[in-house]
Amino acid sequence: MPFRLLITIGLLCVLLPLHRGAPGPDGTAPDPAHYSFSLTLIDALDTLLILGNISEFQRVVEVLQDNVDFDIDVNASVFETNIRVVGGLLSAHLLSKKAGVEVEAGWPCSGPLLRMAEEAARKLLPAFQTPTGMPYGTVNLLHGVNPGETPVTCTAGIGTFIVEFATLSSLTGDPVFEDVARVALTRLWESRSDIGLVGNHIDVITGKWVAQDAGIGAGVDSYFEYLVKGAILLQDKNLMAMFLEYNRAIRNYTRFDDWYLWVQMYKGTVSMPVFQSLEAYWPGLQSLIGDIDNAMRTFLNYYTVWKQFGGLPEFYNIPQGYTVEKREGYPLRPELIESAMYLYRATGDPTLLELGRDAVESIEKISKVECGFATIKDLRDHKLDNRMESFFLAETVKYLYLLFDPDNFIHNNGSTFDAVITPYGECILGAGGYIFNTEAHPIDPAALHCCRRLKEEQWEVEDLMREFYSLKRNRSRFQKKSVSSGPWEPPAGPGAFSSPENQAKSREKPVKQKIPLLSCPSQPFTSKLALLGQVFLDST
C-alpha cells in the first residue's frame, strides 16, 4: 500500500472518532466544551485539510465556533497555548476558504477563527507584564498571572511568539501582539553571554540566568527556529542577523563531529554530551538558511539513532551510544521527520524517503492501538504508555504526509495562486512559501502583507474622512456666523484655526508597519507572477 494512503487511512481512523468523542455514560455524545479549550480539535484541524478531508474540516470549524470558550478558570502554558491554540486557529482561518468554508467580507483580515485566535492571544498578554518584558510561563485564562507564579521561564517559552503574534497584528491591525513578541526577543538577545550563547531558563523579573546550559535542544530550540522563520515571514534582516550570530557561536562551542552537545553558556565547556530528540529539528532549520551540507551530515547522525531503536529516545548518550536512564521513551515526536521533509524538498535525496518509510513502519508496528497511536514508553522493549500527544496529529503525521506528497498545495512553488477580492481591493493568496510555526501550523505570508496594506489603506481613508468632516464642520460654523453676525472675520490668535495639514498631524493614528519592497500582494493590473509571497511586476 502506498505510504501516503497508509498515512491517510491511519490518521482518519484516529481523527474521526476522536473529534466526535467517546459517548458519555448515558450513551450520548460528549459536550466539546467539557474538554477545556479543545486543544486536540484545534491542533489537528489544518492537518485535516492537508490530507484532503474537507468535510471534516468544515464540521470541526462549526464545532469550535459553537463550543470553544476561553473565559475559563484554567492555568495554561503561555508557550503551548500560543503555538497550539493561537497558531492552530490562525492557520485554520487562513486555510478556511481553500476548505470551502464560507468566509465573511473582509477575509482574510477578518473572520470568526481569527477573532477566536485574537481572544486566546489576549488571554496571554498579562504574562508579558514584567520588568523585563519577558513573559511568565503560565497564565490563568480567567484571572491573569497568579500571584505566586514562578518567574523562571525557559528560553523557548520567551522567544517563541513572533510568528503567531506578528501574524495576528498584521491580520487585525493591532500592533500590541507583535510589539510584546519583539520586546521578548530583544531582551533574550541582550542577555546572551560574552561568547554569544544563551542558557535554557531565566528569571523574567531580574533577567538573571537560572539554568546556564547552552544548546539547541529542550528549553531553547524554538527560540532559534523563530528567529529564522520570523525573519522569512516578516522579511526582517535583524532577526536573521541575530540567528546567524548565534549560529556562529553554536558551531564554535557546541558542535563536535556533526553532533551538538550542551555546554556552559559563559565558558563553553561541555556539560552534557547528549543528543535530545527535540534537537532533530536543527537540520531542517539549517536547510532554511541554505546550509545543506552540514544539515545532511547532522541528519544522518540522528538517523542512525532512529535505526538503532525504531524511534528517537528523548536523551541519547553520544559517547556511550545508548539511551539515558529514565529518558528512553519516544512520544512520537515529529522533529526528525520534519527535517526529512525540509531536506527532501531541498535535495530530492532518496535517503530522506527511506527515513519516512522507516518512520511509518515503526509507528504502525510499535505504537498503533485500537484507539489511536500510543506513546512509546521505552524504546528498548517497546512498552507503550496510555496517551497520545496532540502534536502527533498536528505535526508528525502532517510532515510524513507532506514528505510523500510532492503535489500538495503546501508545496506550491508560485505557479498557481488565488486572487481574493476584498472590500479594499484584490489580494493574491495561496502562492506558496508557507511558514510552519513550531507546531506545524502553516501561515501564508501573503496574507500578512495583504492585510497590512489593507489596514494602511483603511487608515488613510479614515484620515481623509476625518479631514472632510472637519472642513465641513468649519464651513458650517462659518456660514452660521455669516448669517447671524455680518461679515466673517478670521479668529484671533495664531492657533485659533489650524490648517487641514496641521489637523492631520495632530490626530493620533495607529503606528504603520514599514513594508519591504515587492512584499505586498495587493495587485495592480501589471502584475504577472506571485512567487513565495513576493510579487514581480512587468517592468514594461
Catalytic residues: 80, 221, 314, 335
Q: How far apart are CA 133 and CA 191, in angstroms?
A: 13
Cell of 210: 537560572
- Whole-number Å distance between alpha carbons of 252 and 270: 12
Cα of first residue to Cα of last residue in the chain, in angstroms, is 52
DSSP state of 146: -
User: Which residue type sits at 330?
Assistant: Y
Q: Minimal CA–CA distance to 239: which of 297, 288, 304?
A: 288
Beta-bridge partner residues of 400:
none
The rounded radius of gyration (Å) of the Cα atoms in the chain is: 26
194 touches 185 (CB < 8 A)? no
C-alpha cell at 120: 486566546
Please tell me the distance from the alpha carbon of residue 290 to that of residue 201, in angstroms, as a whole number.
Answer: 30
- In sequence order, what DSSP letters do the residues of 388-413 get, joined into one string? --HHIIIIIHHHHHHHT-TTSGGG--
Furthest CA-CA distance within the chain: 100
Angle 325-329-333 (CA atoms, 0-180°, nearest 5)? 135
What residues does 270 pair with on adjacent strands? 263
∠ Cα 292 294 300 (to 5°): 100
Beta-carbon contacts of residue 433 (< 8 Å; ≥ 6 apart): 414, 444, 445, 446, 531, 532, 533, 534
Annotated binding site: 438
Using alpha carbons only, what angle is made at residue 406 by residues 403 and 408, rounded to the nearest 5 degrees?
Answer: 100
Residue with cell 519591504: 516
Angle at 417 between CA 118 and CA 432, to 5 degrees: 65
Q: Report residue 135: phi and psi, to 5°.
A: -80, 155
Q: Rounded to the nearest 5 degrees, what angle is found at the Cα of 239, between the Cα atoms of 238 and 245?
A: 90
* 301, three cell numbers: 547522525
DSSP for 177-220? HHHHHHHHHHHHHHT--TTS---SEEETTT--EEE-EE-SSTTT
Listed as own residue / partner, the contacts of 352-355 with beta carbons closer than 8 Å and 24 or more positions apart are: 352/299, 352/403, 353/403, 353/404, 355/303, 355/306
Interior/surface letters 271-290, b for 16+ CB within 10 angstroms, e for the rest? bbebbbbbbbbbbbbbbbee
Distance of CA 63 to the CA centre of its chain: 23
